[in-house]
Amino acid sequence: MDHAIRIIGIDPGLRRTGWGIVETLGNSLRFVAAGTVKSDDKAPLALRLCQIHDGLSAVIRAQVPAEAAVETTFVNKDAVATLKLGQARGIAMLVPALAGLAVAEYAPNAVKKTVIGVGHGDKRQIHIMVKVLMPKAVFDSEHAADALAIAICHAHHRQSPAARLAAMA
């Protein structure tokens, strides 16, 4: 492996979808960019999903990642909110897939365990560790910081034996 791999991490949300781009080369990790795609919460659901699609598409066109990682959805007590989040997550998986990228999925606890060392940490701990791992990282929202954590998680797990087997299947 003699060239850096650019990874986009995506933290899906209906109001705000975070994205973060890192480059990995061997064991090194470099911050590239991060941001938040926002949808108009007064607009109909279909239009909001289009806004997420268009925003993520623009990021992928501009940043040209080679791989993508998306956080899996957790189920909460509000079924309607969970369904809407699932729809936003579908867009977050669709956009990189349409761009020809392999899309990995990581549970929130796996992201936390990779970034902070334990599977049950709070968002503040994640954001602090993202800054420790990548001091030059800047992010405009907690969603962008979470997306960077997802990208970091993928960078650490993308070459695991399980990941290689899954890629060959």
d(CA 22, CA 123): 19
| Residue labelled with tokens 């108009």 | 40
Residue 64: how many other CB atoms lie within 10 Å: 12
Strand partners, 68: 8, 103
Would you name the residues annotated as active-site residues?
11, 71, 143
- Phi, then psi, of 81 in degrees rounded to 5: -65, -40
Name, in order, each residue with C-beta under 8 angstroms of 75's C-beta and a sequence gap of 6 or more. 82
